[in-house]
Structure 1
Amino acid sequence: MRDDLRSAAFVQQFGQGPRPALGIHCSLAHSGTWAPLMAALGGQLTMTAFDLPGHGRSADWEPGLWGGANYLGAATATALELLRQAEGPVDVIGHSFGALVALAAALEAPARVRTLTLIEPVLFAALQDGPHWPVYLAESAPFRTAMQAGDAALAAELFVGLWGNGLPWESVDARQRGNFIRRIGLLAAIAPANEGDSAGLMRQGRLEALAMPVLLIRGDRSPASIPAVMEVLAGRIPGARLEVVAGARHMLPLTHPGEVAALIAGLLSRG
């Protein structure tokens, strides 16, 4: 890994399977969230996973330190460096914002990606100029208001309430609540990518050029904007398979690892 990324990113591995994989976690989480899914996959993969900038045990988000001028670009640079180091093509799995990073890396280095799994990618820019954009704005309005007011505690509570596992905020461990509150400001750094498509992921012809097997996974109890995003992506990525996990919310890799693992195992047989 490049010296700047080596000093900034915390990286760990899960599993001892024959195929290399790269896991990219969601916002406000850390690479350790892949442990349940990797256990459910039963030794099919050896996953390398890193903590996103400012998350887990990685360094704080500072553009110069991470070698990128914007958050998505810096996270993607780390993913690309790990893909470069791997022996052969890699099964790439991303969740939520991590799925945007996974998609950006696959578009940048398609020859390094064996299969691509995108679990509820929060590419809200896919909804702009369509009937579902007002739905997204409405569901995120309370969170936006709290952020604009500088109320980090309320913003974190609202964000976790919408995008978490469905448990009440009061039931979340106090230490974890503190971590969410400290990191909630990172959502402002992410917004240009998932709302404004600053990386041009939705530009005409880009998604259509993906040739590796692609799996899209969502829960059937996730926020209303997610099914709309997934339908747009499924309609533009050639041969993409869209699967829905019953009873699952946005955090389905943690809450439904067995179901998600079974879907990924099916993808691995195709790639």
Structure 2
Amino acid sequence: MTQPHLREWPGHADRPALALHCMMGNGSYWRPIAAQLADLVQITAPDMPGHGQSPDWTGAPDFHTAVTRQTAALIQRPLDLIGHSIGATVALRIAVAAPEAVRSLTLIEPVLFAAARDADADAEMDRVRDLARAGQPEDAARRFLDTWGGVSWEAQTPSSRARLTRQIALVADTNDTLLHDRANLLREGGLEAIDAPVLLVMGAQSPPVIAAIADALAQRMQDVGRATVPDAAHMLPITHPRQVADLIRLNLERAS
């Protein structure tokens, strides 16, 4: 297994935390949040395969499993897990598989579409996958970013467009996991076994399916809080880092 590139910031060394980024992002965007939480935790943020400075994804195992295995290998003792978007689904997968490894769990916009089937969201993800597999990766990347990226395709540099176009294959590979729960995150007793404090965070301007996913997950969890950031959309750790850090702090304090 290749090792991910790790980004680590000063913090409370006796309390480690892992922060997992979204698809097409990298760990660097956790920097301002890590700075605000340095008195409580020391945050490490791995770059997923094919992202940031990590090696490319090899194609096997499937992308979600590859990220989960790399992340789980970094856990030496119970710690605080923070995830955004696909990173939140990886954090959730670890918590379901090994609840004893998680001190607190903060899930920001988890995109586990299988938890709350939405015809529009499912169709959009299928369209992105179909474009990618039909040899139109740039069209697929543009379409994906229109909904989930919070960035203008036209404003990207040629090198950024090339990177995003390469990464769309990773998005397509996660369809079975996120839409059809290939990893069996929703198995009976799985979510219920998480006894760490959980916080579900979403942006008020996010696609409606995000609230439905949060509803479905929260109904099955033992100790869960909910928070919505006004005027924010899917990329709120980047656009609203102060508010996100304040919310993460609340969940960290519940687990102290």
Note the alpha carbon deviations across 1:109-137, whole angstroms, 9 max, x for none: 22221100011111011124xxxx21313
Shift of 1:43: 3.5
Offset at 1:5?
Answer: 3.5
How many correspondences in the alignment?
Answer: 254
Matches within 5 A, 1:107-122: 107-122=96-111
> What does the per-residue CA deviation read over 1:144-200, in whole Å, with 9 as the maximum and x for residues that have no partner?
4533432111111111111022x4321234432221111111112211211121110
Q: 2:128 matched to 1:143?
A: yes
Q: TM-score, normalised by structure 2?
A: 0.92
Q: Does 1:83 align with 2:75?
A: yes
- Shift >6 Å, 4+ stretches: none
Change (3 A) 1:59 1:99: same
What is the one-letter code of the residue matched to 1:256?
A: H
1:13 aligns with 2:8: yes
Tell me by how many angstroms 1:216 deviates: 0.4
The residue type equivalent to 2:48 in the other structure is L
Q: Counterpart of 1:205 in structure 2: which amino acid?
A: G
- Return the alpha-carbon distance in structure 2 between the equivalents of residues 63 and 180 of structure 1: 17
Q: After the TM superposition, which residues 186-225 of structure 1 pair with which residues of structure 2 at under 5 Å, given as runs? A: 186-225=170-209
Deviation, structure 1 residue 89: 2.0
Q: Is residue 162 from structure 1 mapped to residue 147 from structure 2 by the alignment?
A: yes
Counterpart position of 2:88: 99
Partner of 1:251: 235
The answer (yes or no) to whether the contact 1:136–1:224 under 8 Å persists in 2 is: no
Q: Which whole-Å CA distance do the structure 1 matches of 2:132 and 2:205 have between them? A: 25
Unaligned runs of 5+ in 2: none
Q: Decide whether aligned partners of structure 1 residues 205 and 5 sit closer, same or farther in structure 2, where only a CA change above 3 A counts.
A: same
Q: Report Cα offsets for 1:13-33 as digits up to 9, x if no partner.
A: 123224210111111111112
- Counterpart Cα distance in 1 of 2:57 and 2:38: 34
Q: Larger deviation: 91-100 or 55-64?
A: 55-64
CA contact (8 A) 1:36 1:253 kept: no
Residue of structure 2 equivalent to 1:55: 51
Let me know the Cα RMSD of the aligned residues: 1.8
TM-score, scaled relative to structure 1:
0.87
Q: 1:174 to 1:39 in 2, by over 3 A?
A: farther
* Fraction of identical pairs, as percent: 40
In the other structure, the counterpart of 1:73 is 65
The equivalent residue for 1:39 is: 35
Contiguous gaps of at least 5 residues in structure 1: none
Shift of 1:50: 1.0
